[in-house]
Amino acid sequence: MNYISTRGHISNKSFNEILLSGLAPDGGLYLPASWPHFNKDELIRMGELPYPDLAFSIMTPFVGNELSDEVLINILQDAYSAENFSEIAPLNRISESEYLLELFHGPTLAFKDMAMQFLGPLFDYVLKDKGKRATIIGATSGDTGSAAIEACKNRDNIDIFILYPHGRISDIQRYQMTTVNAKNVKCIALDGTFDDCQDLVKAIFNDHNFSSKYNLVAINSINWGRILAQIVYYFWAALKFNINEHPVSFSVPTGNFGNVLAGYFAKKLGLPIKQLIVGSNRNDILTRFLRTGVMELTEVYSTNTPSMDIQISSNFERFLYLLNEQNGRKVSALMDQFRRTGKFTIESETFKEVRKVFDGDSFDDTETSFMIREIFEKHNNIIDPHTAVGIAAARSKREDIAIPMISLATAHAAKFSDTVKAATGLIPELPEHLRDLRKRKETFTRLPNNLSSVKDFLTDTLSNTL
Ligand SMILES: *Cc1c(COP(=O)(O)O)cnc(C)c1O
């Protein structure tokens, strides 16, 4: 399989090349050049497979000859082992034809583990095979950082640096990163906001000398490997139903548009999906777009669903590329316009295509808390606020009550215990392996919000390990 960039200037890249990189050199995101299609018979057979084998069937065409079958299945079996996941994506019924797909049973209690637990060992294998080292640098508003650290800690060929905004993430999120204490992991508490962290990471990647000297790799959802791994659980959930009789629908709480985009790709691969519903908090750029066809930036608000406090959904560019018949020039023009003016509009024919599959709705903090309480009181299930936004969107926008609606549960309630306690009166308990989290020793480096301090810290640390 070859990979191309959404801006149209890069093509013929291999899976392993794009896996160990960031943005394409033309500023675009990587996508496969062609798409396999699974027919109904194949899908039915895939429904019988254990999770790692299902992942193997879906990923093989995308990986091509870059990894042997044996290597790929071994990595998948280790990634989705009982040691890493107490359960793998269980599907629970909450009411008549309404389901929750629980993606939070991994080491850091958010759905990001589902992809990251696969990506960490995969990076390490490919690097060892090539005799290379890589440096992962990422910014986090909470969940991505801990999932990446947990997946990459103690790996021989990887150094990982995570920047987070000092004093602006939850205690649990911070402890999950700062108490890992592995020698290849560095947590940077930046005196700034999440956007400052993100801007610094971008600036470091844009320094091409620095980037190639230290072999920088992106870990946020612009990395194709993450999206690919996320496609799998859409199949896993949908194939629990009789897809010969009816399709299924999904609802997904969304920030960077990474998770729900994986659902769109699952549909593209042949999975019968009727509706893909997007749930937003007050940062509703995507749900406004789904009403109007206009993507328009506003300021970022802080909400009780902090993992979705995002205005620019980077992964939307991949969707835009497919919508515009893989026309990289058109995508470049739209993205340029967006950067200059904070706004772009898509053509009405294209918008109709979008609305055939996608719908969405946004909810403020009060509505989100209300949904947490409702699910607790009526269905005796304690959900996290992000999951609540997804369920609220599903209930608001579902078209056909006969079609199963699967809401993605993206985090464990204990990760956002203050909001959950306020809504239900109960304090959700952390799972066993994290019970003593607050007692563990923290290690982090506090740095001022400027590029040279961060770069100096990276250079000093890396010159000691090389
Ligand atoms: C990251 C995250 C999201 C948003 O996922 P995207 O792929 O950015 O759309 C939603 N919920 C939780 C709990 C998250 O950690």
Nearest CA to ligand 1 atom 14: 307
**Ligand 1 within 6 A of CB of 308:** yes
Half-sphere exposure for 319 (CA within 13 Å, toward CB) = 26
Tokens 């990163």 -> residue = 177
Residue type, 116: M
Cα→Cα distances 44→25, 41, 304, 328, 400, Å: 40, 5, 40, 36, 23
If one residue of 172, 194, 259, 305 were mutated to test the ligand 1 pocket, choosing by the most ligand atoms within 8 A of its CB, it would be 259
Label residue 92 exposed, middle or buried (CB < 10 Å: 0-12, 13-18, 19+): exposed
> What is the pLDDT tens value at each position of the chain, 466 positions in all?
999 999 999 999 999 999 998 889 999 999 999 999 999 999 999 999 999 999 999 999 999 999 999 999 999 999 999 999 999 999 999 999 999 999 999 999 999 999 999 999 999 999 999 999 999 999 998 799 999 999 999 999 999 999 999 988 888 999 999 999 999 999 999 999 888 898 899 899 889 899 999 999 989 889 999 999 999 999 999 999 999 999 999 999 998 899 999 999 999 999 999 999 999 999 999 999 999 999 999 988 989 999 998 888 889 999 999 999 999 999 999 999 999 999 999 999 999 999 999 999 999 999 999 999 999 999 999 999 999 999 999 999 999 999 999 999 999 999 999 999 999 999 999 999 999 999 999 999 999 999 999 999 999 999 876 5
Q: CB-based burial of residue 287 (10 Å sphere; 0-12 exposed, 13-18 middle, 19+ buried)?
A: buried
Structure tokens at 275: 């509706």
Backbone angles phi, psi at 163, to 5 degrees: -100, 130
Mutate to test the pocket of ligand 1, among 101, 111, 285, 311 (most ligand atoms within 8 A of CB): 111
Whether residue 251 has its Cβ less than 6 Å from ligand 1: no
Residue 408 vs residues 260, 277, 338: alpha-carbon distances, Å: 9, 11, 30
What is the DSSP track for 252-280?
Answer: EE-SSSHHHHHHHHHHHTT--EEEEEEEE
410 CB within 6 A, ligand 1: yes
Active-site residue numbers? 112
Q: Which helix (H) or strand (E) holds 359?
A: strand 358-362
pTM across the whole model: 0.96
For residue 254 and ligand 1, the question of a CB distance below 6 A is answered with yes
> What atom in ligand 1 is closest to the CA of residue 221?
7
CB atoms within 10 A of CB 249: 25
Among 255, 330, 318, 261, CA closest to 287: 255
Q: Is 113 in the pocket of ligand 1 (CB under 6 A)?
A: no
Is the Cβ atom of 110 under 6 angstroms away from ligand 1? yes
